[in-house]
Copies of this chain bind each other. A is one copy, B any other.
Amino acid sequence: MAPDHGQPTELSPPDLAPQVTRLLARHLVAAEFESLPANVRHEGLRTFLNWLGCAVGSARHEAVSIAIDAMAPFSGPAQASILGRSERTDVLHAALINGISSHVFDFDDTHLKTVIHPAGPVASAILALAEYKPVSGRDFLHALILGVDVECRIGNAVYPDHYHVGWHITGTTGVFGAAAAVGKLLGLDEQQMVWALGLAATQPVGLREMFGTMTKSFHPGRAAQNGLTAALLAQRGYTSSEQGIEAKRGWANVTSTHRNYEEITGGLGVRNEILLNSYKPFACGIVIHPAIDGCVQLRNQHGLAAADIVKVELKVHPLVLELTGKKTPKTGLDGKFSVYHSAAVALIDGRAGEPQYSDEKVRDPAVIALRDKVTAEIDPAMPPDAVSVAVTLKDGRVLHLRVDHAIGSVDRPMTDGDLEAKFTDLVLPVHGEAGTAALLKACWDLQTFADAGEIARMARAG
């Protein structure tokens, strides 16, 4: 019998943890928008735009509809918009739902260093809040950048151990990002911010076991909702630990076998993690992006048609087969875990957006025929953002291509134009041409808005 009882905070001796939580809180409270460099602000806009496009584009997904229906009887006043849909609900539930829809296509942003999808937990929380408590576009953008910084810094401190244990790091760090960003917009003082981070620490959400089910997209939504709750309680004086992150039985020690607190407190306000954010050109896990990129390039360079192809040979990073080795996917979601299907649609359609991962597409005889001609072999020396593709044609030619850095990686980022095209693809079916163009412009113009919540109302579908 051990007691379920109080004890004083105790720091982990081997880590000699400084006051990580307090230093972070102090920085968040003091941070000023004016000191953000232009490239950081611009990356913030790219992050916001990409996130909004994903949320609107996925808003009709079954997981989103189910969550709305399940929560509706218990929801509060119509304070905030469900992006891409007609419903409005209370701030907490809007954060949950928009967080789900922004991730359900697996098409949102990625901090590759930690594989965190940073925007979902943060933007879903603050955009919902902004409709209840109006804030300027500049304050909104600042909170977004800070929230992303917080979650990625905390992720850096525990990655990869925390992820390898089995935590879905987007949800477990996202709650801190959401609490920090909401706390900034609420104007929390240092003590309140410390408590908000403590209340975030005690609510990690997300196991990797949930991948491949609707529950994966629940994680960023719930992280947004948990972070909001943390900040709202702290604002009223609900007390929490003073060292929620670094204490002996705090978040980092409990959820990870390794920690590097310097990643959290080093260069605060100088190093901005949002500069390492990246955006997916393809609607599937990042690990098969090089293969898709290579197939699309070969198709476009040589005007390939499926009928000309005898075989497709891929040499890939080991994780590709571990994670996406499904030879005969049955559903659209399965297809996202099949490098074979992905290569086939890349060669046939020249893209791998959400339509390439529909149930129909996965069952299309033409796709299946080409898919069965794709082989993938592990090359232990292949970097994770690289691939080698060889396509053998009926006329006997063999076309080779090596991708060193897949499109969308930090070394070969999507351009603003690429992001606009992706946004338009996602939003057009919901808002039509004029509405899509107006929403796109609003994202780029975020800093000029006196009321950032206006963008949420524009993104709502009538």
Contacts and interface: CB of A to CB of B under 8 A. Distances in A.
A392 interface: no
A432 interface: no
Given A76-B74, A218-B199, A5 B249 contact: no
A456 interface: no
B169 A198 contact: no
B232 A70 contact: yes
A198 B215 contact: yes
Given A74-B79, A74-B91, A166-B248, A287 B207 contact: no
Contacts of A205: 202-203
A202 B170 CA distance: 12
Interface in A120-176: 132, 160, 163-171
Contact of A66 (B164, B206, B207, B233): B233
A51 B77 CA distance: 31
A364 interface: no
A4 B285 contact: yes
A144 to B, nearest CB: 20
A100 B287 CA distance: 43
A357 interface: no
Interface residues of A, number: 95
A460 interface: no
Nearest to A326: B8
A8 B167 CA distance: 15
Interface stretch (A110-118, A261-269, A291-299, A413-421): A110-118
A351 to B, nearest CB: 19
B7 A210 contact: no
A202 B198 contact: no
Given A199-B215, A203-B205, A237 B66 contact: yes
A409 to B, nearest CB: 9
Contacts of A253: 166
Which of A169, A206, A232, A254 has the most chain B CB atoms closer than 10 A to its own CB?
Answer: A254
Contacts of A69: 236
Interface stretch (A40-48, A238-246, A437-445): A238-246
A219 interface: yes
A431 interface: no
Copies in the complex: 2
A254 to B, nearest CB: 4
Contacts of A201: 207, 209
A241 B216 CA distance: 10
Contacts of A233: 66-67, 70, 218
Interface string A312-326: 000000010011100
Contacts of A77: 73-74
Given A4-B116, A6-B336, A323-B5, A198 B212 contact: no
Interface string A442-458: 00000000000000000
Contact of A7 (B110, B112, B170, B323): B323
Contacts of A70: 232-233, 235-236, 238
Given A169-B4, A241-B210, A285-B5, A75 B63 contact: no
Nearest to A232: B70
A3 interface: yes
Interface in A21-46: none
Given A8-B212, A254-B165, A384 B241 contact: no
Given A6-B212, A210-B240, 4 more contacts: A5-B106, A6-B216, A209-B249, A209-B250
21 contacts: A1-B113, A1-B286, A3-B285, A3-B287, A3-B323, A4-B117, A4-B163, A7-B211, A7-B212, A7-B323, A69-B236, A73-B77, A168-B202, A198-B210, A198-B215, A202-B219, A207-B249, A209-B254, A210-B244, A214-B238, A215-B239
Interface of A: 1-9, 63, 66-67, 69-71, 73-77, 79, 90-93, 106, 110, 112-113, 115-117, 132, 160, 163-171, 195, 198-199, 201-216, 218-219, 222, 229, 232-233, 235-241, 243-244, 247-251, 253-254, 285-287, 319, 322-324, 336-337, 384-385
